[in-house]
Amino acid sequence: MTILRDISFLWSMLHVIAIFLLLFIPRYPWGRTLVISFAGAGTLLVFNVFAMYWLGHGIIMRAAFFSCTLPTMLLFFLLSKYRDGRYFFLFCLSDTICFWLLQVTNFLDRLTGDTYVVLLVSRLVAFPVAEYLLWRYLRRPFLELQASLLRGWWMFTAMGAVYYLLIMVTAVPVDAPMPDRVGLIRILLVLILMPLTYITILRSLWRQMQIYESARQTALRQRDYTAICQKMELERIYRHDMRHHLIVMTGLLQQGDCAGAQQYVQELQGKLNGLDRSDWCANTALNSVLTAYFSQAKEAGCRLETNIRVPAQLPHYDEMDLCMILSNALENAIHALRELPEEERWLNVDLELTDNQRLALRVGNACPLPVRFGPDGLPLTPPREGHGLGLRSIQSTVKRYGGLFRCQWQEGQFLLQAVLFPAGR
């Protein structure tokens, strides 16, 4: 029955690479990365298989760190986009997950007669299930973590490395005798603590990313607010000076210098055209956001259509939440439009407080190519720094208000719709 043991080993080694690649961001295109990965990993696998037959199956678990782990770590380090704590944390995480599965399936087989049948069957099921769960629930947020969070990885890498070494030291090879009661309790504690520790680490990293995103949004709002204040002050100055301009033009006309008066009017008109509209709605906070991002849209050459009907006071809503939703929605739309030819750029924004005090937002922008959406209703896009966090933040905030949130693609446009219900109603 040792053939079942050997098949389970080969199956497991292949899936170690698959689990790692699920969370990996390569430096090179995926085609080249996969070819190099499987060529290098295949060579290592062949070497370890021969070592297993020459030296016995138990030697693999004892020597795996040197015969498999270190060479694989070096191979993917050369292929990785990130060559810092992010890479080493991922390596520890993926390998620890796999060793944890190996040990759990090994103990299941020992408890059911040590025939290798349960060992093979449980591994045939456990690794695909683990990959599905990682793909469904961990891959997207973890890729966002790697792209957005640049610091704080080394401490968690050290914790992951300690657990990685600990689980390898306490591992019981397939053919080795079972440890005594104390040794078995020690191994079980390691197996229980490992997933709890990684869940805690990932939650901590996610909170750090949220803090980073909140700080980034605050900095953006401060920058936009400063720019708006400067433009409003400039507009106030121009309006104050208008009577002086009228005196100058009157003097030119009285002197019969029509050409000079016309030139003066053209110069004044050019300066006034540089002043963006700053009265999109009565609410000061939302108006500052709209002014800032509509200015960006105009600078990007976007055709802009708006329908804003919001009063000065919004007692049922936190203005910071509303500014965050509006900022993220407009920022994403403008970012997407910048990637299109200028003649194709258009942006439609509807924002209204309804009679029943519901706040409805609709942001549509040109999007010629169809968009695929994930199970969470958010678009599936290639990970890049900071991208994807805005929509998640909007979704989370709308949910707190018991509202409705939807993203969809239809007839050449990407459409974001959100409806917030009054707090306490």
Name the residue range of residue 367's domain: 280-425
Residue 349: give its domain's CATH number: 3.30.565.10
What span, in angstroms and rounded, lies between the C-alpha atoms of 20 and 402?
37
CB of 276 within 8 A of CB of 291?
Answer: yes
- State whether 34 and 159 are in the same domain: yes
Residue 147 covered by a domain: yes
pLDDT for residue 239: 64
- State whether 287 and 210 are in the same domain: no
pLDDT for residue 148: 72
Backbone dihedral region for residue 114 (phi beyond 0: left; psi -120 to 50: alpha; all else: beta):
left
Name the burial class of residue 83, with classes exposed (0-12), middle (13-18) and buried (19+) by CB atoms within 10 angstroms of its CB: exposed
Q: Other CB atoms closer than 10 Å to residue 88's CB: what's the count? A: 21
User: Position 403: which residue type?
Assistant: G
Number of domains in the chain: 2
Residue 50 covered by a domain: yes
Reduce the DSSP state of residue 41 to 3 states and report it: helix
Helix (H) or strand (E) holding 225: helix 181-254
- State whether 166 and 293 are in the same domain: no
- State whether 52 and 184 are in the same domain: yes
Number of residues that make up the chain: 425
pLDDT for residue 384: 46
Give the predicted TM-score (pTM) of the model. 0.57
- State whether 13 and 141 are in the same domain: yes
- State whether 69 and 190 are in the same domain: yes
Residue 243 covered by a domain: no
pLDDT for residue 244: 67
Reduce the DSSP state of residue 315 to 3 states and report it: coil
Residue 268 covered by a domain: no
- State whether 186 and 305 are in the same domain: no
pLDDT for residue 13: 81
What span, in angstroms and rounded, lies between the C-alpha atoms of 315 and 54?
76
pLDDT for residue 129: 95
pLDDT for residue 55: 66
What span, in angstroms and rounded, lies between the C-alpha atoms of 181 and 189?
12
CB of 229 within 8 A of CB of 278?
Answer: no
Low-confidence ranges of the chain (pLDDT < 50): 383-387
pLDDT for residue 88: 93
Rounded to 5 degrees, φ, ψ at 392 are -65, -40
Reduce the DSSP state of residue 172 to 3 states and report it: coil
Residue 418 covered by a domain: yes
- State whether 21 and 149 are in the same domain: yes
